[in-house]
Amino acid sequence: MGFKELSIEVESNRFLKHLDIVDNTRIIFSGIFGIGKTYFLNKLFESKTEEYETIRINPVNYTVSQNSDIFELIKFDIGFQLFSKNLNFEKFEINKEIAGEYFLLNHYKEIIQLLISNLSKIDRRIGAVVSSINQLNEKIEEYKENIETNEQKELEEFLKVFANKKGTSREENSITELLNKLITSLKQNNPNKKIVLIIDDLDRVDPEHIFIILNIFSAHLDFYDHIGENKFGFDKIILVCDINNIRGIFHSKYGSNIDFSGYIDKFYTHDIFEYNFTNIISQNLGKFLESIKVSADNGNQITFKNHNGYFVSELKFILTHLIKAHCLSMRSLINFLKSDLNISQTNIKIDKFGSHNINSNYTDIFLIFKILSKIMNGEHNFLMALDKLIRYKPAIHFFDRKQYSDVSLGNLVMLADFKNSNLFPGEEKYIYKIKDFNISISYEINYTSGRYGIIGKMLRVMDYDGDIEATSYDYNSRYLKTQIPYFQIAKNAFHNCRYILQEDS
């Protein structure tokens, strides 16, 4: 599965509703880094070409430039894209007499010097004066050609300068006005379309440049006909960023006591649009998991299309929480799918004498942790994500997760309590206690996959000092304590998982 297969329907409808609000001319489109904002906007506007004409700039490319260059670079990027819009550039003819007048006014010193140099020759060689007049006429003709307004040539020259030269360039009001005219022309050629400027990755720009760019697009030029109109006459300007990053940069620059809301309000017309990545993933998580192909050391391939219900359910459960806690980005998911996933298998001793072994790839919880580590680009990153999840959700109402809840919690506790159970399956009932969380969990361990793997099954959850054997194990009495520190248990289990696999490898 690639980006092109991700459904964005739900989030698209929500954003289009926001975009179509009357007079909503300035929009902040906010979401964390790597969440897929650029992909979403690209795909959305590709499907709305009859309604919107878009021009996109990415100020990340301005990082090495001086502050004074920023406006010129913005104009360059906009102008460059306007060439692809097949606009009609106008050429204005200038009257020769007017050209002569301008030349005389701007080059009078040169004219006087030219005439004086030949005054002494008037009596003897009138031809010299004629020659001088002819030279003057030629200069007027040359000047006339140079000042004729050829918009296409002017824009081409402007783009050429920036394409071949680094450094600053003096403000050219004529280019700024020209861009405004061309966008007006674009509107006239497409009366049923809104012309939209998208400024991407704003929060990845040098902090100094961020506020220059914001100020450029918050103001209108003197020649605009309507107060409050967007820069260059765009119908809508979309600033793409993580608003929390912008807030942090603002307070770092101006001080924590300065009101950010009062500053940022002028950069959007209505509410800030918060891009909900969870909606996108929720729509596509099944596709994502079906796309994963795991190659084992023995050459076998594991696919999740027909894998057992617990395995897929557990991956969905953890991935969904990683996404909600902003631990996992769209980019990480896609990069994971592009790479080959090879999971090495380990034979694990499950008794003190080493007479019983299991295979890590036939034990679901080992395989789940390995895949999650790969998705998070390493065990260390996954541990950091678990720490963030613990802060995000210290405890969850695990009773609400009725399907596979006994196996989900049982597998984690089986690993977290490894030193007590040694992962040995049988009829024995084990008890895992966490004093810091005032919790006791009883569980059992069974063989799976023809005794190649094992599975943990939770029996009961209650307070730390509770009598866990007091009553029968019917379904309704299992959760005498419903607030479960699930991700803390998962972290403890993952620590032991790493230890077990390293010890037996």
The pairing of strands 293-296 and 52-57 is: unpaired
335 and 398 housed in the same domain:
yes
- Phi, psi angles (nearest 5°) of residue 350: -115, 15
CATH number at residue 183: 3.40.50
DSSP state of 446: E
136 shares its domain with 184: no
Decide if 482 contacts 469 (C-beta within 8 A): no
| Last residue in a domain, options 209, 244, 274 | 274
Per-residue confidence (pLDDT) for residue 190, from 0 to 100:
86
The share of the chain scoring above pLDDT 90, in percent, equals 28
pLDDT number for residue 30: 94
Task: Report percent pLDDT > 70 for the chain.
Answer: 70
334 falls in which pLDDT band (50, 70, 90)? confident
Task: Say yes or no: 16 and 70 in one domain.
Answer: yes
* Ranges of H-type helices in 48-206: 70-82, 96-106, 108-119, 126-147, 151-164, 173-189
Using the 3D structure, point to which of 254, 274, 294 is the last residue of a domain: 274
How many Cα atoms sit within 13 Å of 369 on the Cβ side?
28
Q: Is residue 61 part of a domain?
A: yes
Give per-residue pLDDT as tens, 344-372.
777 787 765 556 788 888 899 998 999 99
Domain count of the fold of the chain: 3
Q: Which amino acid is at 246?
A: I
67 with 127, same domain: the answer is no
| Whole-angstrom distance, CA of residue 159 vs CA of residue 72 | 10
Residues 344, 457: one domain? yes
**Could you tell me which residue, 397 or 261, shows the higher pLDDT?**
261
Is the CB of residue 248 less than 8 Å from the CB of residue 260? no
Residue 462 lies in a domain: yes
pLDDT for res 90:
61
CA atoms in the 13 A half-sphere facing the CB of 84: 8
Q: Same domain for 125 and 263? A: no
Tokens of 68: 């004074």
Q: Tokens 């995000």 belong to which residue?
A: 392
- CB of 240 closer than 8 Å to CB of 37: yes
Task: Confirm whether 160 is domain-assigned.
Answer: no
Distance CA 307, CA 294 (A): 12
Same domain, 265 and 214: yes
Same domain? For 455 and 395 the reply is yes
- Chosen domain end from 274, 294, 319: 274
More confident position, 446 or 180:
446
**Do 395 and 283 have their domain in common?**
yes
In whole numbers, what is the pLDDT of the chain averaged over residues? 79
As a whole number of angstroms, the distance between CA 360 and CA 448 comes to 12
Residue 157 falls within a domain, yes or no?
no
Pairing of strands 453-462, 439-448: antiparallel
pLDDT band at 118; cut points 50, 70, 90: low
Region 44-49 average pLDDT: 93
* For residue 433, pLDDT beyond 60: yes
- pLDDT tens digit sequence for 230-280: 778 889 999 999 999 999 999 999 998 999 998 898 889 999 999 987 767
Q: Which residues contact 472 (CB under 8 A, 6 or more apart)?
A: none
The helix/strand/coil state of 342 is strand
How many angstroms separate the CA atoms of 191 and 189, rounded? 6
Rounded distance between C-alpha atoms, residue 223 and residue 161, angstroms: 25
What is the band of 223 on the pLDDT scale with cuts at 50, 70, 90? Answer: very low
Is the domain of 300 the same as that of 416? yes
Give a yes or no: residue 264 inside a domain: yes
- How confident is residue 222, by pLDDT bands cut at 50, 70 and 90? very low
* Three-point CA angle 209, 214, 216, nearest 5°: 95
> What Rg, from alpha-carbon coordinates, does the chain have?
35
Give the C-alpha separation, 85 to 57, whole Å: 15
Could you tell me the residue range of the domain that residue 302 belongs to? 278-504
Report pLDDT for 220. Answer: 46
* 318 and 412 share one domain: yes
Mean pLDDT of 109-114: 66
CB-CB neighbours of 404 under 10 Å: 18
- How far apart are the C-alpha atoms of 29 and 275, rounded to whole Å? 7
Q: Is the domain of 361 the same as that of 221?
A: no
Which SS3 state, helix, strand or coil, does residue 166 take? coil
With a CB cutoff of 8 Å and minimum separation 6, the contacts of 360 are 345, 346, 347, 348, 366, 367, 370, 501
| Separation of alpha carbons 55 and 72, rounded Å | 16
Query: Residue 409 corresponds to which tokens in the numbers above?
Result: 């919690």
Residue 154 lies in a domain: no
